[in-house]
Amino acid sequence: MNSGIFLINKDKGISSNQAIQKIKKRLDIKKIGHFGTLDPLAEGLLICGINKGTKLSNKFLNLDKSYFSRIMLGIQTSTDDSEGDIILKKEIQVDENEIIEMIKTFIGESKQKPPFFSALKHKGKPLYKYAREGKFVEKQPRHINVYNISRITVDNPFVSFEISCSKGTYIRSIARDLGNKLNCGGHLVELVRLSQGKFELNDAKKVDDVEMEDLIDIEKLAFN
């Protein structure tokens, strides 16, 4: 029985679970799981464990990640991304330089409040399920570390950048907090996971293209 990981380039519009279930059925795999949820809005690198490879979950979930993100200022939503209801519209009264300088303030260690719509669990149930029922469960802020933010581009009302960060960092929360700091609201409109640890999107394959020969054998995986 083959065991290891697949590097998947998940498309926008499907859940992480839908992506891996499609692979499981197409390749007739006994056991499969993913290491780090990507929302349906998001795309990019999704690492999947196959058979005994599913036991590596904790090692992969602890790895740092990097993303390309695009934020829209002036509008805040219930989910902190473009899939939610608009709850605030406000004029943007800051210039490009102020926006760039404010983005840079997120670099370093901080405490971040997770979004209400997230896969974090409360009493064994994901927060997003509570939120869909109109019950907003607030989790304690979590320690995160943003190592670097680069390639910042401002094209009002949109702001895009690449960010490298520790596990547990929600880019939707950064979009929300950036909008709050600029006093105009903001939400995430695009997210692409570029890397997770040493594994990169450039080496990943689409769900419909991955084959068993693309499996990285469990014996070849090393974590330093």
CA 39 to chain centre: 7
Counting Cβ atoms within 10 Å, is residue 94 exposed (0-12), middle (13-18) or buried (19+)? middle
Q: How far is CA 24 from CA 33, 103, 116, in A?
A: 9, 40, 30
Measure Cα distances from 77 to 89, 179, 200 in Å. Answer: 9, 11, 31
Contact residues for 25 (Cβ-Cβ < 8 A; gap 6+): none
User: What's the rounded Cα separation, in Å, for the pair 147 and 188?
Assistant: 20
The catalytic site residues sit at: 39
